[in-house]
């Protein structure tokens, strides 16, 4: 059974991303495009578009052309967007690198993607230089955006008199970006996304949200990850919004920026919702500017979300996606207050999906959990240098096998259960760790939690909870187990508890259960 989008298809023009965003900004040239949340420094749309052209011209003068790959290793700043769109405008593809990466990890992405140049900042130069020297890395030049001895700066690139190159983008086939998946379940994979993939997803989502020139978006999620890149940067710039950047997440600074820069649309991952629901300092800030809080990248529990809504009085929305879908496939539209905020809403325009029993391969219908398969113009061209992974993920009918278990209701509203591979199998029953994590977070003395399957003395897989206590809280393992046992079917009971100071999470906001599993061995 194929589930189709409830929305009519949107038209996807045959243009490259820079043209979609900057092709006609005449009506908004003086409006703010990017605002540095720390310094307040602002780039208008006119300045941004002019800088993008200059960077493209300077890159073209250095020989960068279609088919080339250029890396970006930088925290979010307004100049990230300048580098990003300059690279695409020159016809090259951008590979965006996790700011937390070590020199070795950076080198491996540069090597795998074949990047020939790298944009970075002076604070990251040690790692960038070490990576550029590593064996097999082809980077011949490092542009240090804020300047450093011996390297060109962004100002040097912007000083060019040359006109931007005349590149013809074939949106359907030309790669725009090579982001890497988050590496939550294993090694991060390079994802080949074309201009059409990115353009499509921006337009598919635009129909469902109220974002325009009146909007001030908080861009705290990293631009290197597809969610920050496409949703907080590109879709917002397409709509003409002001994008307020933050280099990293720190709760007090986040609260200050929301309140002082009056950002009305704030994109987060669930760990931020946990802090907004539970942290005492939240009450010291005026968060009334924040009208919509949008969560994605990992499961957001309904009760937790409702607690944030009650505390802050904002609208909460949730979306689902993955790097491989540029990234969004499902979301709760802005105007659908009737959809539960614990779900990921409905499938976006131009997409269809199926649910497939991972055991039997049979398609299932409403109300029955199955692996979510999705098809649409935003689905990747494939994994880079990884034919086996591509073949295992993209089938010959064009459906992407997400690896996530979902349930769809009679109204087409989708709930994500958990990743297929992370379901705990207790005596033949399946236990989704995400459900237990959400339940644990409802305990007032629990600040954070994660659940994995571990083997008991009989070799049976059982749920184990890692729990972070609220500051100064007295809570023991027996109390945690009793709390869960009271609320779930017996096979879902937590049978082992360990207390930690913090739950390991990725930069994109996901619980790193693989790191917790590694501790067990």
Binding site for Mg ion (CB under 5 A): 181
State which of residues 147, 183, 289, 358 lies at the interface with ligand ATP (CB under 6 A). Answer: 183
Buried b (16+ CB within 10 A) or exposed e, 188-220: bbbbbbbbbbbbbbbbbbbebbebeeebbbbbb
Q: Find the shortest distance in angstroms from Cβ 181 to Mg ion.
A: 5
Is 365 one of the binding residues for ligand ATP (CB under 6 A)?
no
- Residue number with CB closer to ligand ATP (91 or 190): 190
- Residue number with CB closer to ligand ATP (188 or 312): 188
Is 223 one of the binding residues for ligand ATP (CB under 6 A)?
no
Q: Find the shortest distance in angstroms from Cβ 192 to ligand ATP.
A: 14
Is 404 one of the binding residues for ligand ATP (CB under 6 A)?
yes
Asked if the bond preceding 327 is cis, omega within 30° of 0, the reply is: yes
Helix (H, G, I), strand (E, B) or coil at 337: coil
Segments in 78-209 forming alpha helices (H): 78-89, 103-113, 125-133, 154-158, 195-206
> Which does residue 201 touch among ligand ATP, Mg ion, none (CB within 5 to 8 A, set by kind)?
none
Buried b (16+ CB within 10 A) or exposed e, 112-150: bbbbbbbbbbeebbebbbebbeeeebebeebbbbeebee
State which of residues 23, 67, 186, 313 lies at the interface with ligand ATP (CB under 6 A). Answer: 186
State which of residues 419, 469, 493, 505 lies at the interface with ligand ATP (CB under 6 A). Answer: 419
Q: Find the shortest distance in angstroms from Cβ 58 to ligand ATP.
A: 32
State which of residues 221, 344, 449, 467 lies at the interface with ligand ATP (CB under 6 A). Answer: 344
**Structural tokens at position 335:** 């105007």
- Residue number with CB closer to Mg ion (98 or 120): 98
- Residue number with CB closer to ligand ATP (48 or 450): 450
Burial of 19 (0-12, 13-18, 19+ CB in 10 A): middle
> Which does residue 344 touch among ligand ATP, Mg ion, none (CB within 5 to 8 A, set by kind)?
ligand ATP
Pairing of strands 265-268, 292-295: parallel
Bridge partners (DSSP) listed for residue 316 = 293
Contact between 110 and 131 under an 8 Å Cβ cutoff? The reply is yes
Q: Find the shortest distance in angstroms from Cβ 469 to ligand ATP.
A: 25
> Which does residue 402 touch among ligand ATP, Mg ion, none (CB within 5 to 8 A, set by kind)?
ligand ATP
Residues in contact with ligand ATP by CB under 6 A are 181-186, 188-189, 296-299, 318, 320-323, 344, 402-404, 416, 419, 508, 510
């Amino acid at each position: 059974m194929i589930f189709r989008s409830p929305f009519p298809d949107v038209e996807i023009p045959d243009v490259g991303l820079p043209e979609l965003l900057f092709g006609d900004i005449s009506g908004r040239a003086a409006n703010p495009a990017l605002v540095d949340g720390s310094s307040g420094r602002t780039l208008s749309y006119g300045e941004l578009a002019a800088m993008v052209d200059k960077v493209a011209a300077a890159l073209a003068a250095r020989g960068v052309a279609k088919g080339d790959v250029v890396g970006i290793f930088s925290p979010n700043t307004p100049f990230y967007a300048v580098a990003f769109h300059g690279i695409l405008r020159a016809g090259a593809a951008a590979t965006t690198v996790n700011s937390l990466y070590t020199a070795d990890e950076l080198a491996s992405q540069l090597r795998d993607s074949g990047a020939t140049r790298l944009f970075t900042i002076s604070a990251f130069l040690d790692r960038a230089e070490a990576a550029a020297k590593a064996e097999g890395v082809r980077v011949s030049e490092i542009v240090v955006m804020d300047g450093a001895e011996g390297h060109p700066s962004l100002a040097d690139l912007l000083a060019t008199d040359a006109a931007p190159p005349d590149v013809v983008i074939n949106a359907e086939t030309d790669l725009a970006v090579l982001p890497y998946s988050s590496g939550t379940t294993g090694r991060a994979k390079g994802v080949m996304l074309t201009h059409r993939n990115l353009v499509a997803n921006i337009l598919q989502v635009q129909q469902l949200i109220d974002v325009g020139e009146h909007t001030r978006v908080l861009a705290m999620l990293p631009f290197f990850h597809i969610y920050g890149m496409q949703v907080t940067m590109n879709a917002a710039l397409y709509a003409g919004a002001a994008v307020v950047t933050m280099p990293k997440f720190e709760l007090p600074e986040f609260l200050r920026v929301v309140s002082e820069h009056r950002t009305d649309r704030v994109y987060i991952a669930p760990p931020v919702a946990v802090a907004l629901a539970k942290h005492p300092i939240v009450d010291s800030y005026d968060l009334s500017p924040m009208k919509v809080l949008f969560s994605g990248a990992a499961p957001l529990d309904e009760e937790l979300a409702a607690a944030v809504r009650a505390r802050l009085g904002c609208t909460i929305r949730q979306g689902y996606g993955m790097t491989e879908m540029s990234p969004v496939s499902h979301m709760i539209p802005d105007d659908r207050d009737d959809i539960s905020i614990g779900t990921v809403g409905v499938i976006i325009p131009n997409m269809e999906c199926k649910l497939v029993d991972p055991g039997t391969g049979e398609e299932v219908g409403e109300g029955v959990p199955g692996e979510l398969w999705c098809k649409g113009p935003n689905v990747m061209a494939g994994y880079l240098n990884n034919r086996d992974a591509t073949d295992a993920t993209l089938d010959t009918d064009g459906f992407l096998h997400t690896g996530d278990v979902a349930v769809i209701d009679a109204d087409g509203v989708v709930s994500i259960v958990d990743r297929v591979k992370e379901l705990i199998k207790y005596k033949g029953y399946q236990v989704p760790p995400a459900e237990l994590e959400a339940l644990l977070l409802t305990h007032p003395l629990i600040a954070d939690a994660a659940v994995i399957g571990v083997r008991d003395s009989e070799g049976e897989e059982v749920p184990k909870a890692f729990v972070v206590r609220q500051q100064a809280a007295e809570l023991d393992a027996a109390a945690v187990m009793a709390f869960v046992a009271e609320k779930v079917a017996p096979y879902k009971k937590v049978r082992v508890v360990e207390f930690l100071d913090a739950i390991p999470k990725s930069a994109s906001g996901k619980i790193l259960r693989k790191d917790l599993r590694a501790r067990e061995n």
